[in-house]
Homo-oligomer: A and B are copies of this chain.
Amino acid sequence: MKLLEERIEKDGQVLGENVLKVDSFLNHQVDPMLMDAIGTEFYQLFAGDKPITKILTVESSGIAPAIFTGLKFGVPVVFARKHKSLTLKDDVYSSEVFSFTKQVSNKISISHKFLNQADRVLIIDDFLANGQAIEGLLDIIGQANASLAGVGVVIEKSFQKGRAILDQKGIKVESLARIKKFADGKVIFVEE
């Protein structure tokens, strides 16, 4: 997605060998117009597949791209919660997710009410790096006996293992920006 790659080049900050900071438009300050365009792009990439009934993501940074994707498909968005709140008392599907960025393990949970075997799910997330968060969501989709339409990722760090893991499972993955590597503080994209 050219608009996104240009934005990453303009506003992204490369920190060391592994970290791309996009907090000016994706995960702290968010550009709603870009998110709207991202929703349209995911719609075009997945609309040809069998009917999608639900968009799944993880709080918090996945919510903005997921909500616009849900709007384009006209379906609900469910975001997995990282902490049980007093008002999330129902039976839940849970999975353990380790975040390399934050160096913590979080349990993510989705209420039984919002996912079942009638659902055909599109996962949307902001980043695909080691794939931990998406593997957690796949685990939950399995527990619910729901089916998976595919995975849509805003920014993929192709040099980390997440993409390979999903490819090996035969999952359809669409990443709007694929990063081959960081070199001298600059982003090198995968050539299509």
Of B60, B78, B86, B102, the contact of A63 (CB 8 Å cutoff): B60
Question: Which chain A residues in 92-149 approach chain B with CB under 8 Å?
Answer: 101-103, 110-111, 113-114
Q: Which residues of B contact A35 (CB under 8 A)?
A: 67, 71
- Does any Cβ of B come within 8 Å of A9's Cβ? no
Question: A25: shortest Cβ distance to chain B, in Å?
Answer: 8
Q: How far is the CA of A113 from the CA of B25 in the complex (A)?
A: 12
- The size of the chain A interface, using a CB distance under 8 A, is 41
Q: Which residues of B contact A110 (CB under 8 A)?
A: 28
Q: Which residues of B contact A63 (CB under 8 A)?
A: 30, 60, 63-64, 67
Question: A56: shortest Cβ distance to chain B, in Å?
Answer: 10
B114 near A32 with CB under 8 A, answer: no
The contact sample of 9 A-B pairs, CB cut-off 8 A, is A23-B113, A27-B87, A29-B111, A29-B114, A30-B63, A31-B76, A32-B71, A60-B63, A86-B102
Q: How would you classify the secondary structure of chain A's contact residues: helix, strand, loop or mixed?
A: mixed
A32, A64, A81, A103 — most chain B CB neighbours (10 Å): A32
- Does any Cβ of B come within 8 Å of A171's Cβ? no
A85 near B102 with CB under 8 A, answer: yes
Q: Which residues of B contact A23 (CB under 8 A)?
A: 87-88, 111, 113-114
Q: Which residues of B contact A113 (CB under 8 A)?
A: 23-24, 29
Of B64, B79, B81, the contact of A67 (CB 8 Å cutoff): B64
Q: A28-B88, A64-B63, A85-B101 known; A71 and B15 CB under 8 Å?
A: no
- Does any Cβ of B come within 8 Å of A36's Cβ? yes
Using a CB–CB distance below 8 Å, which chain A residues touch chain B? 15, 19, 21, 23-25, 27-33, 35-36, 59-60, 63-64, 67-68, 70-71, 74, 76-79, 81, 83, 85-88, 101-103, 110-111, 113-114
Question: A54: shortest Cβ distance to chain B, in Å?
Answer: 8
